[in-house]
């Protein structure tokens, strides 16, 4: 299947996403923030990046821009619940900076699997 990099500072969500995506055959790598994700991207060319927006060290928007520069054809799915601000405008910004798809937390795992499949098919 696909090599997928999951980037989220929420350990429980990160692990849940890993289990769900591995259960359908994907190879998964995990990162807790954008800076760690960029280090992983150097040695692991992901077929897809799934990233939170609000994270410490490097935000998801910065990561999206960096991935688009390094691997322009690699789709990025941005996820966010708006963090402490409750503002989901971050997702629209992510789309503007190159996210192939956006999802507001919380989301159903079936919706995630559909979004991943659609993004990989592009």
Structural domain boundaries, residue 17: 3-121
Q: In whole numbers, what is the pLDDT of the chain averaged over residues?
A: 93
* Residue tagged 């800076």 (tokens): 35
How would you classify residue 82: left for phi > 0, otherwise alpha for psi between -120 and 50, otherwise beta? left
Closest CA to 4 of 57, 111, 77: 77
CATH code, 10: 3.40.50.2300
User: Rounded mean pLDDT of 87-96?
Assistant: 81
The count of structural domains within the chain is: 1
13-53 pLDDT, tens digit each? 999 999 999 999 999 999 999 999 999 998 899 999 999 99
Looking at residue 88, what is its pLDDT? Answer: 52
C-alpha–C-alpha distance, residues 44 and 66, integer Å = 15
């Amino acid at each position: 299947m696909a090599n997928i990099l999951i980037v989220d500072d929420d350990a429980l969500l990160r692990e849940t996403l890993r289990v769900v995506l591995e259960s359908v055959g994907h190879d998964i790598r995990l990162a807790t923030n954008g800076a760690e994700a960029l280090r992983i991207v150097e040695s692991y060319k992901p077929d897809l990046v799934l990233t939170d927006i609000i994270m410490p060290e490097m935000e998801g928007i910065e990561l999206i821009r960096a991935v688009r520069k390094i691997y322009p054809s690699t789709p990025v799915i941005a996820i966010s619940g708006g963090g402490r601000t409750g503002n989901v405008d971050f997702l629209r910004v992510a789309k503007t900076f190159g996210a192939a798809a956006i999802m507001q937390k919380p989301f159903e795992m079936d919706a995630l699997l559909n979004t991943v499949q659609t993004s990989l098919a592009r």
